[in-house]
Structure 1
Amino acid sequence: MPASKKKAGGGFQSFGLTTQVYKGVMKKGYRLPTPIQRKCIPLIIEGKDVVAMARTGSGKTAAFLIPLLEKLKCHSVVAGARALVLSPTRELAAQTMKFTKELGKFTDLRSVLILGGDSMEDHFSAIHNNPDIIIATPGRFLHLVVEMDLKLSSVEYVVFDEADRLFELGFLEQLKEILSRLPENRQTLLFSATLPKKLVEFAQAGLSNPTLVRLDVESKLSDQLKLSFFTVREDDKPALLLHILHHVIPEGHQTVLFTETKHHVEYLNLLCTAAGVNCSYIYSSLDQAARKINVTKFVNKEAGLLIVTDVAARGIDIPLLDNVINYNFPATPKLFVHRVGRVARAGRSGVAYSMVANDEVAHLLDLHLFLNREIKNTTEFSSVDEDGVVGGVPQSVIDDQEEFVRSVHTTSFDLASAKQVADNAHKHYIKSRVAPSNDAIRRTKDFPVTLLPHPSLRPSSSPVEAKKDSLLESIRGYRPQQTIFEVAASRTKSVAAQVMKSKRQYHGQVIKTTTQQKSISSKPSMATKSDTPEMSTDQDLESFISITPWEQKKSRKTKTKEFHDDEHYVPYTPADLHTERGLSLGMSGFEQQAAGAVLDLTQDEERDMKKTKSIKKWDRKRKRFIGESETTKKKKLKTESGHWIDATYKSGIYEEWKSKHKVAQLCEGQPESSETHPLPQQRRRGKWHTKGSQQAIKGSAKRELRNADEILQLRKKASRNRYKQMGKRDRSKRRQQKSNTSSTHQTKIRNNSKGRKR
């Protein structure tokens, strides 16, 4: 027989996984672990706290799910969840739930999904079913914990997925309260694409001596991702979008379109549907059931375009996604990285198309500075294969779709009204958009006004069309020599024309020399080192020309003399000087590693915080505008840990649910019991009846031990059953015996009473 092939080293079998977990990994289709999985899985299996920092699409979800399943192994009959995974968005939590079911297919572990927008009664029933893994969003999970008074003492494994996004969405209070209820001997994992300063402080408070795993931070984007930037006017974006969908993107590709607000999502959905594009859409305020339906429709390829806001920019893994379109350019480079990170995942290639308006050029310059890339203009690069090229849009491309867009808006009232709403939303979006850096704003002045058409938009048409496009480009960049005051000066003798004529005579030579210097400086220097003349020094000039002391003083720039008192001078020393040099004794290993990984965004966050604090809302009861500080003081509930949470978290609906379903209080740490499960109900003869209590809930373990109350109930039930099974004669005999015994007993009592009287 031929010798069996050896398994390749470095695969998932090298981690020592159990058979059930390894079969699930192979069934999912994974063969070789990614770098983040290769680094994190052994550390997590050893029981260490880990802070993992890697770019999107690097396999972070499987990096914490595989060791989670390996450590839990099988279902526990003791009540209480053992693992908790917190995700920032509902879509990401649902995706993590899907991965958990696929990887744990051959295990008997139970997992439950807790999302905002779903029924609270369903969540109560799911928690009473004794799950091993809870995957939830922080807000709804904290509501459930406070409502059910869960202690979370059985949790052994905690994961904060996309932790930086958790802080951006304002879940800090919920995370602190959840963290205070967790046991101290837990294992905590923190996965993120970036590591802000606040996240480092949270990691120091919630993790014990964590290990930092930092991979692919410098590259930030996948090598298989191609970037394309189109400079276009804001009004021409709908026409350019339709051209990209019809002519640039191949048929059958899956595309995600990112927009500014939910009003743009609704408007572009109507426009693309009118153009014959099968699309679906999601945004934050959309109903949860509708969001699930639309995402499933896109994943099953029933729709080729998914229109979303930034709610889908984090962590969502849509298989076989090919393209991303940025309808509005992201305000921050980090948001751009997370948007385009939806494609080019797990070794696949993808393209990201971005529309850049005139007021978004500064954000484009900030992005290239963040990515450490050079901006490639179409004036320098004309190849179609060039990546990251910034180019213009030919007028013929706009004209082809502009007529259709105009006609659709005139015929459809819904589309016209949706466009007006989207335009108003765009005005408000610009007010709240993060401003670019001052350096980027200064550099926009040197950015070319007109660019050649982008390589992907250049039409392969006849020479007549090419000449037409070149003529339009030359007209667009044309600047007349005369001013508006000098037009038709020969016909009309105006005072303004005479003033401009005299000004040209006076400053003509200065303007000519300035333009010549600009043209010389703009041309690249073709001279080599041998051709450039050697400049003379001041010593050479002094040896050849005698300079008087007065001329020497005049030629040199006068420098202000700095006063420095050596006796009373105290040099400035920062407070964290020893910490920065690594000489502090109290600095842990994680702080030293995270010092170089911090991306501090506090300045932008403080600016946004000031904006939100200044916003006031109308209070109907008080009949006046109130600030945010006035609303946050009330309707708050102080927990045992000292944190303030919303008072709506404790509404008493759990007690009503228990009394309705006749369920006992869930006791964590106690053996699993059928009494804690809600009994299924069925309707008979117009009334609701519960099915037999002996019928255990599906999947629950049978408990053989009984307490005193249960034994008494079983005995009473057995006696009732025996009485029902007797015949009529046996029942009459039993009644007669009871009556005889009672009559004899009464006669005895009478006789005893008579004897006492005597």
Structure 2
Amino acid sequence: MLETVPVIESGFTKLGLDDRIVEALTGLGYTEPTPIQREAVPPLLAGRDLIGRAETGTGKTAAFTLPLLHRLAATVTRTRPAALILVPTRELAMQVAGSVERYGRLLGLRVLPIYGGQPMEPQFRALDRGVDVIVATPGRALDHLRRGSLKLDGISVVVLDEADEMLDMGFAEDLDTLLAATPSERQTMLFSATMAPRIRAVAGRHLKNPVEVVLTRAPVPAGAAPRVRQTAYLVPRAHKLAALGRVLDAEAPTAALIFCQTRSEVDELTEALAARGYRPEALHGGMAQDQRDRVMRMFRSGKADLLVATDVAARGLDVEHLTHVVNYRLPLGIEAYVHRIGRVGRAGREGVAITVAEPREQGALRSIERVTGQRIELARVPTAADLRARRLERTEATIRTTIAEGGLDAFKAMLATLSGEFDPAVVALAALKIAHREQGDESEDGPDIPATVPEPARPALRPRNNNNNNNSVRSPGPGLARIFISAGREAGISPRDLVGAIANEAGLPGRDIKGIEITERFSIVEVPEDAAEHVIESMNGVRLRGRRVNARRDRQN
């Protein structure tokens, strides 16, 4: 008699998705859609354009991938791509392409990620063989379009994923060019963690009567703990490294992503943390791609428990076992902060976001709270006594776990021998001392870090002019600095090159670049004064149009 296998009713079936897609999802263990999927999939299946405002970790990749696959399921034997998904980074391109392949594994669709940092020739061959879904970074997609290797006249679905990130990286013109090459009757989806006016402008140019779905993380019920606990420590600059060590010792993260602003800061902090006994790895744009791949393999496998990175290098990262995000330096914009903490607390998991800030940065923390509507708790840096108590707690937890695991019979003979010489309580205390020693050396805790008293709230600062259309700089505006870059029209430099490079290398949003002046042999850009030194350090040695450039403050500034 054949055994009857119970049928698991899937919430995805009720959305009206192709049975093969539902079967693939069930095989992956997904039976119920997330809120963003429940809201977005039905109008997308009906053929509507859509604007989705969704934070990282809410399930937005599946929200656009599933209806895209459903639409393509009927016909899979194409010679030209039918769907184009544009993403800001190589890492995200690989992740989204992997999701498309997993969800559509029973459909026979061909998926190809194309991005910079790898040879063009393999991409040429793959495109020539035929592809159904392209997942691409805008710059590399535009390269293929201009070479004629990427044909977009058969595209029926376009997705702009993390649109705010793409605009921050200077891809606005690239997006316009790519979308202009696709048929006007296509379906278009735009997803973004934030919805600034510039995102609205892109949607207004390229989407037709879109449905709008706004979904952030689920609200925290009164009295409940938030899924992402946000904490800040106010520390004088000279004590930041010591404070970070104390916080890491107290938190004991399974895996933490630590954000710095510059490549040199990443390297210095990685070296300092290694000297303190941690297992850190560095990740920044100055590393070769094979180095970055090696670092990510180590971090994902648990061979490294701390990843010290710049914003650009960490864009698009999705590490399932990540428990903590640490801002060793506050980002230059609130949107960047939102993206950073979105690395944890994904798919319903809990996470911790920690900021080690200087006292002068309290105003920036309050601004983040106002814009995000989420509280950042100001906490005291753990003292040496706090760490000792925390280690004792971990020792006790370790002992309890060991007892629960069993397998202690092999040590009975040793206990009997030692108990014949010493009091059994003394033997137990010696064993506890050995276990506690494994939690860390208390002699390394050092003196306590000076406490910083939070300052009273200050009046809000006057917002800066956000006009990016000024192409001629004569004198810097208030709060701005002029940066000289040693390449101009002679090297083929355009405003888009400068905005894209600064966004990529320094993580400075394009809207914060207030003016651009390009001469025959050099260029001048205006950036916020508090970001000037960071931009200069990040841009020195960068290649623009194949030419290595130098950056410094303009001597007329």
TM-score (norm 2): 0.69
Q: Give how far 1:244 is off.
A: 2.6
User: C-alpha separation between the residues in 1 aligned to 2:482 and 2:115?
Assistant: 31
Q: Give how far 1:5 is off.
A: 6.4
Q: Is the 8 A contact 1:324 1:352 kept in 2?
A: yes
User: C-alpha separation between the residues in 1 aligned to 2:339 and 2:272?
Assistant: 26
Residue in structure 2 matched with residue 256 of structure 1 by the alignment: 257
Residue in structure 2 matched with residue 352 of structure 1 by the alignment: 353
Q: Give, as a single letter, the amino acid of the residue that structure 2 aligns with 1:238.
A: L
Residue in structure 1 matched with residue 145 of structure 2 by the alignment: 145
Match of 1:629 among 506, 513, 518: 518
User: C-alpha separation between the residues in 2 aligned to 1:68 and 1:363?
Assistant: 40
| CA deviation map 1:265-322 (0-9, x unaligned) | 1112222222222222322332222222222221122211111111256543211211
Residue in structure 2 matched with residue 286 of structure 1 by the alignment: 287
Residue in structure 2 matched with residue 617 of structure 1 by the alignment: 485
Q: Give how far 1:353 is off.
A: 1.3
User: C-alpha separation between the residues in 2 aligned to 1:220 and 1:79?
Assistant: 48
Residue in structure 2 matched with residue 175 of structure 1 by the alignment: 175
User: C-alpha separation between the residues in 1 aligned to 2:86 and 2:258?
Assistant: 26
Q: Is the 8 A contact 2:13 2:22 kept in 1?
A: yes
User: C-alpha separation between the residues in 2 aligned to 1:115 and 1:138?
Assistant: 8
| CA deviation map 1:686-732 (0-9, x unaligned) | xxxxxxxxxxxxxxxxxxxxxxxxxxxxxxxxxxxxxxxxxxxxxxx
State how 1:535-684 maps to structure 2 within 5 Å: 603-604=465-466, 606=468, 614-618=482-486, 628-630=517-519
Segment drifting more, 146-155 vs 63-72? 146-155
Q: Give how far 1:608 is off.
A: 11
Residue in structure 1 matched with residue 114 of structure 2 by the alignment: 114
| CA deviation map 1:627-668 (0-9, x unaligned) | 74236999xxxxxxxxxxxx979xxxxxxxxxxxxxxxxxxx
State how 1:98-247 maps to structure 2 within 5 Å: 98-148=98-148, 150-216=150-216, 223-245=226-248, 247=249
3-state DSSP of counterpart to 2:152: coil
Q: Give how far 1:3 is off.
A: 9.7
Q: Give, as a single letter, the amino acid of the residue that structure 2 aligns with 1:228.
A: T
User: C-alpha separation between the residues in 1 aligned to 2:103 and 2:367?
Assistant: 40
Q: Is the 8 A contact 2:488 2:521 kept in 1?
A: no
User: C-alpha separation between the residues in 2 aligned to 1:20 and 1:328?
Assistant: 46
Number of aligned residue pairs: give it: 429
Cα 1:202/1:622, change in 2 over 3 Å: closer
Cα 1:353/1:179, change in 2 over 3 Å: same
Segment drifting more, 351-360 vs 329-338? 329-338
Q: Give how far 1:131 is off.
A: 0.8
User: C-alpha separation between the residues in 1 aligned to 2:54 and 2:521?
Assistant: 36
User: C-alpha separation between the residues in 2 aligned to 1:223 and 1:27?
Assistant: 31
3-state DSSP of counterpart to 2:213: strand
Cα 1:302/1:608, change in 2 over 3 Å: farther
User: C-alpha separation between the residues in 2 aligned to 1:369 and 1:115?
Assistant: 37
3-state DSSP of counterpart to 2:308: strand
Q: Give how far 1:395 is off.
A: 6.5
Q: Give how far 1:391 is off.
A: 2.5
RMSD: 3.8
| CA deviation map 1:473-497 (0-9, x unaligned) | 7xx99xxxxxxxxxxxxxxxxxxxx
Q: Give how far 1:248 is off.
A: 1.5
Q: Give how far 1:101 is off.
A: 2.0
State how 1:187-586 maps to structure 2 within 5 Å: 187-216=187-216, 223-245=226-248, 247-250=249-252, 253-311=254-312, 314-372=315-373, 388-393=376-381, 396=384
Q: Give, as a single letter, the amino acid of the residue that structure 1 aligns with 2:84.
A: L
Q: Give, as a single letter, the amino acid of the residue that structure 1 aligns with 2:379.
A: G
Q: Give, as a single letter, the amino acid of the residue that structure 1 aligns with 2:329.
A: N
Q: Is the 8 A contact 2:281 2:308 kept in 1?
A: yes
Q: Give how far 1:157 is off.
A: 0.8
| CA deviation map 1:484-529 (0-9, x unaligned) | xxxxxxxxxxxxxxxxxxxxxxxxxxxxxxxxxxxxxxxxxxxxxx
Cα 1:214/1:396, change in 2 over 3 Å: same
Q: Give, as a single letter, the amino acid of the residue that structure 2 aligns with 1:133.
A: V
Q: Is the 8 A contact 1:615 1:628 kept in 2?
A: no
Q: Is the 8 A contact 2:91 2:315 kept in 1?
A: no
| CA deviation map 1:323-368 (0-9, x unaligned) | 1111012333322221111111111111111111022111012122
Q: Is the 8 A contact 1:298 1:304 kept in 2?
A: yes
Q: Is the 8 A contact 1:229 1:353 kept in 2?
A: yes
Residue in structure 1 matched with residue 536 of structure 2 by the alignment: none
| CA deviation map 1:522-546 (0-9, x unaligned) | xxxxxxxxxxxxxxxxxxxxxxxxx
Q: Is the 8 A contact 1:239 1:398 kept in 2?
A: no
Q: Is the 8 A contact 2:24 2:106 kept in 1?
A: yes
Q: Give, as a single letter, the amino acid of the residue that structure 1 aligns with 2:134.
A: I
Cα 1:234/1:60, change in 2 over 3 Å: same
Q: Give how far 1:373 is off.
A: 5.2
Cα 1:602/1:67, change in 2 over 3 Å: farther
Cα 1:107/1:613, change in 2 over 3 Å: farther
Q: Give, as a single letter, the amino acid of the residue that structure 2 aligns with 1:393.
A: V
| CA deviation map 1:220-266 (0-9, x unaligned) | 99931111111111121111222233x21336x11111111111111
| CA deviation map 1:156-182 (0-9, x unaligned) | 111000011111111011111101111
State how 1:705-744 maps to structure 2 within 5 Å: none
Q: Give how far 1:394 is off.
A: 5.7
Q: Is the 8 A contact 2:273 2:279 kept in 1?
A: yes
User: C-alpha separation between the residues in 2 aligned to 1:607 and 1:391?
Assistant: 42
Residue in structure 2 matched with residue 16 of structure 1 by the alignment: 16
Sequence identity (%): 32
Q: Is the 8 A contact 1:142 1:174 kept in 2?
A: yes
Greater strand fraction, Structure 1 or Structure 2: 2
Cα 1:18/1:629, change in 2 over 3 Å: same
Q: Give how far 1:619 is off.
A: 5.2
User: C-alpha separation between the residues in 1 aligned to 2:91 and 2:56?
Assistant: 15
Cα 1:370/1:621, change in 2 over 3 Å: closer
| CA deviation map 1:167-212 (0-9, x unaligned) | 1111011111101111111111001111111111111111111111
User: C-alpha separation between the residues in 2 aligned to 1:303 and 1:233?
Assistant: 28
User: C-alpha separation between the residues in 1 aligned to 2:82 and 2:488?
Assistant: 46
Q: Give, as a single letter, the amino acid of the residue that structure 1 aligns with 2:377.
A: V
Q: Give how far 1:29 is off.
A: 2.3
| CA deviation map 1:121-153 (0-9, x unaligned) | 111111112011111100011011101264411
Q: Is the 8 A contact 2:82 2:156 kept in 1?
A: yes
Residue in structure 1 matched with residue 416 of structure 2 by the alignment: none
Q: Which has the larger radius of gyration?
A: 1
3-state DSSP of counterpart to 1:343: coil
User: C-alpha separation between the residues in 1 aligned to 2:313 and 2:47?
Assistant: 32
Q: Is the 8 A contact 1:280 1:303 kept in 2?
A: yes
Structure 2's unaligned 5+ residue stretches are 389-441, 454-462, 495-515, 524-543, 547-557
3-state DSSP of counterpart to 1:615: strand
User: C-alpha separation between the residues in 2 aligned to 1:202 and 1:61?
Assistant: 20
Residue in structure 1 matched with residue 420 of structure 2 by the alignment: none
Cα 1:79/1:277, change in 2 over 3 Å: same
3-state DSSP of counterpart to 2:134: strand
Q: Is the 8 A contact 2:83 2:157 kept in 1?
A: yes
User: C-alpha separation between the residues in 1 aligned to 2:55 and 2:489?
Assistant: 48
Q: Is the 8 A contact 1:13 1:22 kept in 2?
A: yes
Q: Give, as a single letter, the amino acid of the residue that structure 1 aligns with 2:244.
A: L
